[in-house]
Amino acid sequence: MLNVLFEDDSLLVIDKPPGLVVDPAETVKEVTLADILQRDFNIQVPRGGIVHRLDKDTSGIILVAKTQHVLENLQRQFKERQIKKEYLALVHGEISKAGVVEGSIGRNPGNREKFIVLEDGKEAVTEYEPIKSLQLSVFSLQQIFSDFNKIQMRKLERQAYNEFTLVRCMPKTGRTHQIRVHLKYIGHPVVSDEKYGGRKTYRLDKRWCPRIFLHAAKIGFNHPVSGSWMEAESPLPEDLKTALAKLNE
């Protein structure tokens, strides 16, 4: 069953679990969020009324419109940047102060499944601010990498693999993989990001963090009918809480 954070006659606010694909596609054989919304909630709007996307392994809040009018209203709010979104991400390295990434995003010419910062890409802006600096303790490293020899462990130390930052990200635009691409661009890829973190780093991360550490934690918008400002929050899921618990300040 889907976790519904809010529902009225106009819309739903869904807390999407990780591992659930949002949109149907020719390459997708599994049941999608759109399928569930049409089947279980009888939503007859195209794509199950889904207003915006999250990647398959990203968890958190998604807005769902019950009517075409509401869908168009919320899409307009996104386009006009009236909707406020907030994500939580755990990234590699230490981020000591808040900043803004303004880097246009387009498909990677060398790999069409990836996106990169490109001069002729689409405008993309992400604000970010550090919440706290965290580390894997020596004890945790020894536990997680108990099969590593001394040379391999020294390599982890030289790479400062044990340093991380929990970050709050506020995307001002909605490009595909935007937060992941922008954090990679400033040298702080998201933990367990197979696509942008690098193959070797991803394999290390997966030993203690089961999926990409990215969660759509908060959203604010104008209700499409009443016009009143609404906010919804989604707590950090258990799998990411467990991963976070392995880190010490």
CATH at 102: 3.30.2350.10
3-state secondary structure of 190: strand
55 is catalytic: yes
Q: What is the pLDDT along the chain (249 residues), one digit of tens a residue?
A: 799 999 999 999 999 999 999 987 656 678 899 999 999 999 989 889 999 999 999 999 999 999 999 999 999 999 999 999 999 999 999 999 999 999 999 999 989 889 999 999 999 999 999 999 999 988 899 999 999 999 999 999 999 999 999 999 999 999 999 999 999 999 999 999 999 999 999 999 999 999 999 999 999 999 999 999 999 999 999 999 999 999 975
Q: Which of 15, 55, 193, 205 is catalytic?
A: 55
Q: Which domain holds residue 116?
A: 3-248
Domains of the chain: total: 1
Dist CA 209 CA 202 (whole Å) = 10
Task: Dump the DSSP string for 28-87.
Answer: --S--HHHHHHHHS---SGGGGB-S---TT-EEEEEEESSHHHHHHHHHHHHTT--EEEE
Whole-prediction pTM value?
0.94
Dist CA 153 CA 146 (whole Å) = 9
Dist CA 188 CA 94 (whole Å) = 8
